[in-house]
Chains A and B, each alone.
Chain A
Amino acid sequence: MSDWLPRSAAGRRWLGLAPSYFIIGIFMLVPMIIMGVFSFLEPNPYGGVRPVGSLAAYIKLFFEYDLEDNLVFNPGYINIIFRSFQLSFGATLLCLVFGFPVAYYITLQPEHRRNFYIYLITIPFWTNLLIRTFAWIIILGRGGVIETPLLAAGIIEDSLRMMYTDGAIAIGLTYSYLPLMVLPIYASLEKLDFRLLEAASDLYANRFEVMTKVVIPLCKPGIIAGCILVFIPCLGAFIAPNLLGGGKKLMLGSLVQFQFASARNWPFGAALSMLLLSAVVITLIFYARAAKNRAAMEGSA
């Protein structure tokens, strides 16, 4: 054994894990610490921060100064956060509604064809999200793919005004993250024992009950994983809100992006991000608790 290796087993184990600690440290901990620290500093009007401690960023989340310099409650940002959660929730729901049947359909295909379909699902990832979101402007926009034929046929007389609405954002988000819903659901459906479906129908379950009583409960882990994978990036998304929401219907993600790119208020952007991060972490902790309780209940832990 070489001399430079640690003598104790624990030491050697630590050395073995060192590369992953290093990666996690550099790519996760350090940026997060920087973000946390920046949120407690003062903004530099030319970008970046000044090394002066300040709670201004967090105060700005909830309050503003009126003309007489009094702090008054400002629900503006809270509303944006609330809207973000609403839109993300809606997009997640849409992803689930469209993604589950797709995953189920793929599972029912013969094995050699399944991989091909999964491959098709991943194709959109090969192109830039920005460009794919622009495509939706052509689809939804004034004189777009949907409106033009309807106008020409006289079914509608004026523009449907689909662009720059919450609906457009939800569609964009759903489109962007649908594969992240399909893949985990497919993974859990693929493991499903289809004899259980026969057993259920043998025991007088109709098609709907076979779904609700057997298939969905058994692929719940996949559904939950898919929802998390869609919901979290939706919260932080800014491409779809900016392009399809016109930048006026702000979401948390676009607000953060705006603070760094245009408003030059890095501490406020960092504070918003910290808020987003805490919301996500709290949600995940609750989910982990629930999953652990269920596992303990089922005795499979």
Chain B
Amino acid sequence: MTAAIDIRAVTKIYNPGSNQAVKALDNVSLTIDDNEFFTLLGPSGCGKTTLLRLIAGFEQVSGGEIMLFDDEIENLEPNQRPVNTVFQHYALFPHMTVAQNVAFGLERLGKPRQEIEATVDRVLTLVKMKELGDRRPNQLSGGQQQRVALARALAPSPKVLLLDEPLSALDLKLRQAMREELKQLQKETGITFVFVTHDQEEALAMSDRIAVMSNGEVQQIGGPTNIYEHPVNRFVADFIGDTNFLDGEIVSINDDLVTCRIGAQSMFEAANSGGHKVGDRVTLFLRPEKISLSAPDRASEPGQRPGKVANIVYLGNQAAYTVDMGDGIELTAQARPREDGRLPFAIDDALAVGFSARALRVLAQ
């Protein structure tokens, strides 16, 4: 299968040679498949937007190659690259109507008038904006402008659509609705989407694959489940979702399990991912939703430990409990409110904390 985009050892340095030189991307290689919803995820300053701008052509690579369906594109001007961008702040042309905005790319490509009109009609229908074709961008709401920006970028049928945090300016409800629409749109059009975001929820909800980036490097590439359940390092585990980290030392190993000493004398068993030896300093990680909280009389059962509620953060559909496990160890767990809406435990309540050894994973240091 041909890769839609092949990033080969791309490096980007801003202001090279000056004392303000900044290495935004360091030897990044990744492959984006055709017809894929691919997300570049990371905190601000991680280089994800730089990578997108390099693909679009707004920045020049300092080293490496960018292939688009086997064509080398890193030295082409933006207007020579068959990719289109949905900008973070939409960047709609304020002096043109919605329809003129959408037609802009097609006109520059010299398409015949009839074809332009038909395409504008089609993509505006696709994003449910057909009725507003005569409006100006300043007469539209944020969500509507978002749709126009999408339509404008889709109209020339780009080989790859680049989306630079397009949902970040929308309010929560709209953002959630647009997620599903974007995913749907990608399936309908069959165009490869490269989506940049710092919102891990967004990335997990929409992507076929995700590249987690930090400090100008790709940390991990994989499907949403893979990234969430099997993070390769502490950064990824921490950036995606909530996590408990337990720092300790391996004291014994058998085929399935490693036993670690955490704190002074607490022993935790974790799944053996291989390659460990006794005495290694390791970090265990445990997702809060893998922990069950129950009445304190169960604390002596296998797989259960006693604990005490140290803090509660109420979130409506659930509550995040900070549980003091003794020995200086605290775990964050979740519990749902009961049917009458009351929370099952209060601060200082004793309880039983249960989790399986398979839910605990050893992270590379």
Q: Which residues of A contact B (CB under 8 A)?
A: 193, 195-196, 198-206, 209, 213-214, 217-218, 298-300
Chain A residue at smallest Cβ distance from B134: A299
Shortest distance between the CB of B65 and any CB in chain A (Å)? 21
Chain B residues contacting A193 (CB-CB under 8 Å) are 91
Chain B residues contacting A199 (CB-CB under 8 Å) are 85, 87, 91-93
Residue in contact with A203 in the complex, picked from B57, B58, B77, B156, CB distance below 8 Å: B156
Residue in contact with B104 in the complex, picked from A200, A206, A298, A300, CB distance below 8 Å: A200
B79 interface residue, CB < 8 Å from A?
Answer: yes
Contacts A204-B79, A204-B108 hold; do A198 and B136 have CB atoms under 8 A apart?
no
Complexed CA–CA distance, A195 and B92 (Å): 9
Chain A residues contacting B94 (CB-CB under 8 Å) are 196, 218
Chain A residues contacting B336 (CB-CB under 8 Å) are none
Whether B105 and A203, one on each chain, are in contact in the complex, defined by CB atoms closer than 8 angstroms, is yes
B84 interface residue, CB < 8 Å from A?
Answer: yes
Complexed CA–CA distance, A203 and B58 (Å): 12
Chain A residues contacting B84 (CB-CB under 8 Å) are 202-203
Whether B109 and A198, one on each chain, are in contact in the complex, defined by CB atoms closer than 8 angstroms, is no
Q: Which secondary structure dominates chain A's binding surface?
A: helix
Shortest distance between the CB of A277 and any CB in chain B (Å)? 33
Whether A203 and B89, one on each chain, are in contact in the complex, defined by CB atoms closer than 8 angstroms, is no
CB-CB contacts below 8 Å: B68-125 with A: 77-79, 83-85, 87, 89, 91-95, 104-105, 108-109
Whether A204 and B156, one on each chain, are in contact in the complex, defined by CB atoms closer than 8 angstroms, is yes
B147 interface residue, CB < 8 Å from A?
Answer: no
B138 interface residue, CB < 8 Å from A?
Answer: yes
Whether B78 and A202, one on each chain, are in contact in the complex, defined by CB atoms closer than 8 angstroms, is yes
Residue in contact with B91 in the complex, picked from A195, A218, A298, CB distance below 8 Å: A195
Chain A residue at smallest Cβ distance from B85: A202
Whether A299 and B79, one on each chain, are in contact in the complex, defined by CB atoms closer than 8 angstroms, is no
Whether B78 and A298, one on each chain, are in contact in the complex, defined by CB atoms closer than 8 angstroms, is no
Give the one of B89, B93, B105, B153 with max A CB within 10 A.
Answer: B93
Query: Could you jot down 7 A-B contacts, CB within 8 Å?
Result: A202-B83, A202-B153, A203-B105, A203-B108, A203-B153, A203-B156, A218-B94
Q: Beyond A202-B78, A203-B153, A205-B79: 11 further Cβ-contacts under 8 Å?
A: A195-B87, A196-B94, A199-B85, A199-B87, A199-B92, A202-B57, A202-B58, A202-B83, A203-B105, A206-B108, A298-B136
Whether B79 and A202, one on each chain, are in contact in the complex, defined by CB atoms closer than 8 angstroms, is yes
Q: Which residues of B contact A (CB under 8 A)?
A: 56-58, 77-79, 83-85, 87, 89, 91-95, 104-105, 108-109, 135-136, 138-139, 152-153, 156
Give the one of A201, A204, A213, A300 with max B CB within 10 A.
Answer: A204
Shortest distance between the CB of A33 and any CB in chain B (Å)? 42
Whether A217 and B79, one on each chain, are in contact in the complex, defined by CB atoms closer than 8 angstroms, is no
Chain B residue at smallest Cβ distance from A201: B78
Whether A214 and B93, one on each chain, are in contact in the complex, defined by CB atoms closer than 8 angstroms, is yes
Complexed CA–CA distance, A201 and B58 (Å): 9
Chain A residue at smallest Cβ distance from B84: A202
Chain A residues contacting B56 (CB-CB under 8 Å) are 198, 202
Whether A204 and B105, one on each chain, are in contact in the complex, defined by CB atoms closer than 8 angstroms, is yes
Shortest distance between the CB of A192 and any CB in chain B (Å)? 10
Whether A205 and B108, one on each chain, are in contact in the complex, defined by CB atoms closer than 8 angstroms, is yes
Chain A residues contacting B156 (CB-CB under 8 Å) are 203-204
Chain B residue at smallest Cβ distance from A213: B104
Chain B residues contacting A300 (CB-CB under 8 Å) are 136, 138
Shortest distance between the CB of A280 and any CB in chain B (Å)? 28
Residue in contact with B139 in the complex, picked from A205, A218, A299, CB distance below 8 Å: A299
Chain A residues contacting B83 (CB-CB under 8 Å) are 202
Complexed CA–CA distance, A203 and B105 (Å): 4
Whether B87 and A203, one on each chain, are in contact in the complex, defined by CB atoms closer than 8 angstroms, is no
Chain A residue at smallest Cβ distance from B138: A300
Chain A residues contacting B57 (CB-CB under 8 Å) are 201-202
Complexed CA–CA distance, A1 and B84 (Å): 66
Complexed CA–CA distance, A200 and B153 (Å): 11
Shortest distance between the CB of A214 and any CB in chain B (Å)? 6
Q: What 3 A-B pairs come out closest when comparing CB atoms?
A: A203-B105, A204-B108, A199-B91
Shortest distance between the CB of A206 and any CB in chain B (Å)? 6
Complexed CA–CA distance, A209 and B105 (Å): 11
Complexed CA–CA distance, A213 and B101 (Å): 11
Shortest distance between the CB of B80 and any CB in chain A (Å)? 8
Whether B136 and A203, one on each chain, are in contact in the complex, defined by CB atoms closer than 8 angstroms, is no
Shortest distance between the CB of B178 and any CB in chain A (Å)? 20
Chain A residues contacting B77 (CB-CB under 8 Å) are 201, 206
Complexed CA–CA distance, A300 and B95 (Å): 11
Whether A198 and B58, one on each chain, are in contact in the complex, defined by CB atoms closer than 8 angstroms, is yes
Whether B95 and A203, one on each chain, are in contact in the complex, defined by CB atoms closer than 8 angstroms, is no
Complexed CA–CA distance, A206 and B105 (Å): 11
Contacts A196-B91, A199-B85, A218-B95 hold; do A206 and B79 have CB atoms under 8 A apart?
yes
Complexed CA–CA distance, A152 and B78 (Å): 50
Chain B residues contacting A200 (CB-CB under 8 Å) are 93, 104
Chain A residue at smallest Cβ distance from B135: A299
Shortest distance between the CB of A291 and any CB in chain B (Å)? 14
Shortest distance between the CB of B44 and any CB in chain A (Å)? 17
Shortest distance between the CB of B58 and any CB in chain A (Å)? 5
Chain A residues contacting B89 (CB-CB under 8 Å) are 195
Chain A residue at smallest Cβ distance from B88: A195
Give the one of B105, B109, B156 with max A CB within 10 A.
Answer: B105
Complexed CA–CA distance, A280 and B179 (Å): 57
Chain B residues contacting A209 (CB-CB under 8 Å) are 108
Whether A299 and B136, one on each chain, are in contact in the complex, defined by CB atoms closer than 8 angstroms, is yes
Complexed CA–CA distance, A213 and B108 (Å): 10
Shortest distance between the CB of A212 and any CB in chain B (Å)? 11
Chain B residue at smallest Cβ distance from A194: B91
Complexed CA–CA distance, A299 and B94 (Å): 11
Contacts A202-B78, A205-B79, A300-B138 hold; do A196 and B93 have CB atoms under 8 A apart?
yes
Chain A residues contacting B136 (CB-CB under 8 Å) are 298-300
Chain A residue at smallest Cβ distance from B149: A199
